[in-house]
Structure 1
């Protein structure tokens, strides 16, 4: 059975329509942003937006400009140097948790990243392979094959959560509680009506992480958190507050992006059957296929909070001091000036690692990229080995809603219904819901 992509990219809309769609997050933009990004790349590659938060925002959409901005020391991330802007964007409820390397500039960012890298060494990541494989096998063992299964909730969501929690020493009932409060943060973070819930969750998580750090210092093991807390460094060791915010960013970045990317990769293969067949026929293609799928449908759509430290001219556009700068990574990764036929998935495309921006670029390049690549490789290999005939359930439907929050940082599926073994699945699984 073959399926087609749910939304054709097509030609972009008029510039004013594209700006309005991106600013307001219209349903059409949420479902498929690429036509809108095409219009911006061609007509306003660095577009000035007026979002609801009221801070002037410049959206960078071309690859060359995006690459330059990500490496430009005149574009900062330190929240303390732009605290009013930070509060306008995010409020003040999670300020302590957000005080991490994601919102820092050198020299503090350099120190924090160097310390974090001690736990993300290639050997450390490589040693995780047997355990990740065990977790993958256990989750797939529990997936039904005689009825459609939502691969997001049954597989893509729990796996990265299990991996990152075990790395941090968060196990058993504690993991359940952490994830409950973590979900409350993500649900309430951008809602003024839910600020009380946000503050409550932030306080619980901060207290729990502090207690976890104290327990880890008293009884260190070989887990990730013990390495961060106990290993001597040339720089000043992490304080408890720094460790709290480090745990937060690793938990947040370490599971959500990988969860969504697993779903995006599976969806991309199932909606491009000729590419799926190519990977099935030659598994040596899988590493470069993963790079291509991260380029083609990455889970990080736009970069995190940045701002101009001074007046900066990028691509002929003057970005004034203090303005927010966002990089549309999804747009840059489909720039035809960089990638031929960018709207076509091609698992044989070469030379992508280090060139696409799916994991960022520059000083803030994704620290967990090696772990994400490992998880994706194990997940896709296991799925293709065990369920070679896997297809989308309800192929005439959208296959799940694309997620899009108030700040369009992420792109991924809320649901991904699949039939793992169509020969064993009930006859009416192809009928659209309702």
Structure 2
């Protein structure tokens, strides 16, 4: 069953487990069943409620008072013995703190404001040329016509990693480390990795912290006018008690960011800056290869049609399948009682295939009206993805240049179309293709 086929009508939700690797390979049939029968679905044996209808998801995203982003876990909880081992590793780095993704206003607004200027339309305009150079160089380096290669490793991973390296102003020759650290950060999100993998991921996270702590300290001593220089010079509104914690609060009630806070922000930019875009690009290449009519339209007007293709790819792929919220008070959603303290998962992937909003929702149709405003691939409200402009820019340039420079993209016969084992971050592990360059 491919990712865009119509869902089965005889799907059962009895015993449904979002952490089941088999379920994660093609979850859309289950989400469709939830939308139709139980749009606020409690995962059996857990405090997790999955919300799947578009008209229910959007109000939740806007109600930060009732549905808090200050969640502590997005996966299965480890046992006590493993927790102790994890603490030993974490003690070698800086303690994790919530900043943008996992915190509510007004703190969220303060942290987001420290880097928001680097993701404005003006900044994106300055990045178009260097990103285009990255994409064209990578296309130049693709194997000869007819030779099978993995589009993930040879195009869709390096494009966003090199782009975010440009934004962060760090050496591109660190690309392999950036990818490894990103994989480490997302390892426990929406999945149930082995104990060994959890510990390995934490070691990678601490390694990331030490590398970027050094980068930040260099900027503190000698600012060079880049994002990390601005981070170390930023001052945010202090909270009552910050001074008692030993933080230096000035006469205006402001303070510097702590190293933990800066590392949290940089890690979110690094992960959001490449993992989700890689997954969306890969799904986009697959969809273009599977739909010759859409490919022909892109070939006929690469610059004009690429942005349209991007939005439909984002809707169908929804790399960030959902996001956790914590319920702050007893409430009801669509008539379903949800107690205080419950974990809610707003399922962007399910809402993006809601037939009430997107007719024939499993079909790949870039010509849909109002796609950018309707789909939730980047969320909605105050937590709308900060890096969305960069992701859109990268995807647009990739699809534009593929349409301009390639005659065809063909899927190899040996593709298994396997997805990473996560119900939160969904993407293909590989995609074997061959190409024919345009004359």
Q: TM-score range by the shorter chain?
A: 0.7 to 0.9
Distance 2:50 2:311 in 1: 24
**Shift in Å, 1:274:** 1.8
Contact residue 6 and residue 398 of structure 1 kept, 8 A: no
Contact residue 296 and residue 345 of structure 1 kept, 8 A: yes
Question: Which structure carries more helix by proportion?
Answer: 1
Structure 1 residues 128, 208: closer, same or farther in 2, change over 3 A?
A: same
Contact residue 97 and residue 261 of structure 2 kept, 8 A: no
- Name stretches of at least 5 consecutive residues in structure 1 with no aligned partner: 425-434
Q: Tell whether 2:57 aligns with 1:66.
A: yes
Distance 2:19 2:76 in 1: 17
Contact residue 331 and residue 337 of structure 2 kept, 8 A: yes
**Shift in Å, 1:149:** 1.3
Give the 3-state SS of the residue equivalent to 1:418 in structure 2.
Answer: strand
Structure 1 residues 165, 72: closer, same or farther in 2, change over 3 A?
A: same
Q: Tell whether 2:410 aligns with 1:391.
A: yes
**Shift in Å, 1:75:** 0.3
TM-score calculated relative to the size of structure 2:
0.84
**Shift in Å, 1:24:** 4.4
- Aligned twin of 1:193: 196
- Aligned twin of 1:220: 223
Distance 1:285 1:271 in 2: 17
**Shift in Å, 1:232:** 6.6
**Shift in Å, 1:228:** 3.0
Q: Tell whether 2:43 aligns with 1:44.
A: no
- Aligned twin of 2:421: 404
Q: Tell whether 2:431 aligns with 1:416.
A: yes
Q: Tell whether 2:69 aligns with 1:77.
A: yes
Q: Tell whether 2:301 aligns with 1:302.
A: no
Q: Which 10-residue stretch deviates more, 186-195 or 249-258?
A: 186-195
- Aligned twin of 2:101: 102
Contact residue 4 and residue 363 of structure 2 kept, 8 A: no
Structure 1 residues 136, 19: closer, same or farther in 2, change over 3 A?
A: farther
Give the 3-state SS of the residue equivalent to 1:96 in structure 2.
Answer: coil
Which of 282, 286, 290 is matched with 2:310 structurally?
290
Contact residue 4 and residue 364 of structure 2 kept, 8 A: no
Distance 1:399 1:195 in 2: 26
Structure 1 residues 5, 57: closer, same or farther in 2, change over 3 A?
A: closer
Matches within 5 A, 1:134-173: 134-146=133-145, 147-171=147-171
Distance 1:329 1:125 in 2: 25
Structure 1 residues 237, 19: closer, same or farther in 2, change over 3 A?
A: farther
TM-score calculated relative to the size of structure 1:
0.85
**Shift in Å, 1:237:** 4.2
Distance 1:269 1:399 in 2: 17
Distance 1:228 1:196 in 2: 29
Give the 3-state SS of the residue equivalent to 1:118 in structure 2.
Answer: helix
Contact residue 277 and residue 391 of structure 2 kept, 8 A: yes
Matches within 5 A, 1:226-375: 226-230=229-233, 236-283=255-302, 284-303=304-323, 305-375=324-394
Q: Tell whether 2:45 aligns with 1:25.
A: no
